[in-house]
Structure 1
Amino acid sequence: MPHDQKTPARLGRPPLTERRKAETRLEVARAAVRLFLAQGVAGTSGEEIAEAAGISSRTLWRYFPTKESCIMPLLTGGIESTARQLRSWRKDQGLADLLAIARTPLTEAADDARTMLRLVRLTRTEPGLRAVWLEAHRAAEPVFAEALAHRAGLPEPDLVTTVQAAMLNVALRVGVEHYASHDNPDITGYESAIREALLVAAGSFTS
């Protein structure tokens, strides 16, 4: 290749190795939740999580600093989904359109949604998991703010979009926590709870 030519940037899906890493991290998260639910956080070791996920302990600790942090991929998946929905909510669309967009095909990830509900329920009694849950939402705020700024045609979040992102973030967190606190929460009710939380948070938005 001539020296003055550059290799074109990669577009589309991430490389296979990156996808595989993401899949491995998600499998670890699922295994960790199963074990935490069955025997508690204190009664579960990182080595047990690694074995249940089919990886070595060395690989586990390369991906996660603590056993509690193993749950993070399940939480960040929901955050990324919400951010995608916000990015697709155009400025010429109103609240009804946002709610329509929010009808995410949860059935495609129903098992993960059920697992997350059980996990959120567990954060009420496990401080280590609660800290990870709150950290995930702290990290979500700037992501939501950037998505809302993009909708508003701004180069970066301003005060309004930052406050809106915070409102949305809190409403979603509290909505999920409230629904997860019910006995035997199902996936249909979960979808309704998410939509209701969006309705509350987005009520002050203008299109």
Structure 2
Amino acid sequence: MSTEPPPSLTERRKAATQLDIAHAAAELFATRGPDATTAEDIARQAGVALRTFYRYFRSKQDAVGPLLTVGGDRWRGLLEGMEPGTPLGVALRTAAEQALAVPDAQAAQALLRTRGLLRAAADDPALRAVWYRVNQESEERLVPVIARLAAPGDEGRDPLEARLRVRLVAAAATDTIRIALETWAGTDAGAEGPGSPADLAVRCLERLGGGLDGA
């Protein structure tokens, strides 16, 4: 389990403001496109001053970062709650299915917002760079989580081999979720059911098969 202290009230307020700005940016990018959207537009939509926008973000594309990290944070949190020794394939599939589930309209809307962003990123290199950066950071944060889950199975394994296994699983799992979301964004499939992000992610993870469990 995570041993990090809970965020302070100031940190929670900062995160809430950043997420409000991210939602505003995502909505404008999806409806107008990045080229027709300015930082001033995003700040106005979010109800904050332009100086507040630039206190948190360097560019209009950077503003969507907090929104894109939400899913990865949820997935990682679910994995952190699993018992060490849980087969990695099972743990990753279960967590992916739960993290990408849409139990209510708000969750479905969040996924659809991500779809709009990924579609907009196809023609905007700066926005695409933010997406890739978010995935790289997610992979790095996943490494210690995978290491904890894999620890019992790595007893007696060469230390270098164990580290390689953990890094490879973290990279493969992160890219699997990315590919599932990107593939879904290029279709008109719904947020749940066949062809949804959860469905595609689980199918991709199943295709990786025993490699995730170190077979």
Q: Does 1:186 align with 2:190?
A: yes
CA distance in 2, matches of 1:86, 1:203: 18
- Deviation of 1:198 after TM superposition, in Å, equals 3.0
Structure with more relative contact order (C-alpha pairs < 8 Å, separation 6 or more): 2
What residue in structure 1 maps to residue 141 of structure 2? 143
CA distance in 2, matches of 1:117, 1:82: 18
The answer to whether the 8 Å contact 1:99/1:195 transfers is yes
TM-score by length of 1: 0.84
Over 3 Å counting, the alpha-carbon distance change for 1:113 and 1:202 in structure 2 is farther
Q: Does 1:70 align with 2:63?
A: yes
Over 3 Å counting, the alpha-carbon distance change for 1:54 and 1:180 in structure 2 is same
Alignment equivalent of 1:42, drawn from 27, 35, 41: 35
User: What CA deviation, in whole Å up to 9, does each residue of 1:186-206 have, x standing for no partner?
Assistant: 210222122223333464122
Please give the residue correspondences for 1:46-195 in structure 2 after superposition, counting only pairs within 5 Å: 46-94=39-87, 95-104=89-98, 105-107=101-103, 109-153=107-151, 158-183=163-188, 185-188=189-192, 189-195=196-202
Letter in 1 for 2:120: L
- Deviation of 1:97 after TM superposition, in Å, equals 4.9
Letter in 1 for 2:145: A
Identity of aligned residues (%): 30
Query: Which structure: greater helix fraction?
Result: 2
TM-score by length of 2: 0.81
CA distance in 2, matches of 1:36, 1:98: 31
What residue in structure 2 maps to residue 8 of structure 1? none
Q: Which moved more, 1:62-71 or 1:188-197?
A: 188-197
- Deviation of 1:173 after TM superposition, in Å, equals 1.0
CA distance in 2, matches of 1:199, 1:89: 19
Over 3 Å counting, the alpha-carbon distance change for 1:83 and 1:43 in structure 2 is same
Letter in 1 for 2:143: A
What value does the CA root-mean-square deviation take over the aligned residues?
Answer: 2.5
- Deviation of 1:98 after TM superposition, in Å, equals 4.0
Letter in 1 for 2:41: E
CA distance in 2, matches of 1:204, 1:82: 20
CA distance in 1, matches of 2:57, 2:140: 23
User: What CA deviation, in whole Å up to 9, does each residue of 1:62-93 have, x standing for no partner?
Assistant: 00011100010111111211212322333432
CA distance in 2, matches of 1:136, 1:179: 18
Letter in 1 for 2:35: A
User: Structure 1 stretches of 5 or more lacking a match?
Assistant: 1-10
CA distance in 1, matches of 2:84, 2:207: 19
What residue in structure 1 maps to residue 206 of structure 2? 199
User: Structure 2 stretches of 5 or more lacking a match?
Assistant: none
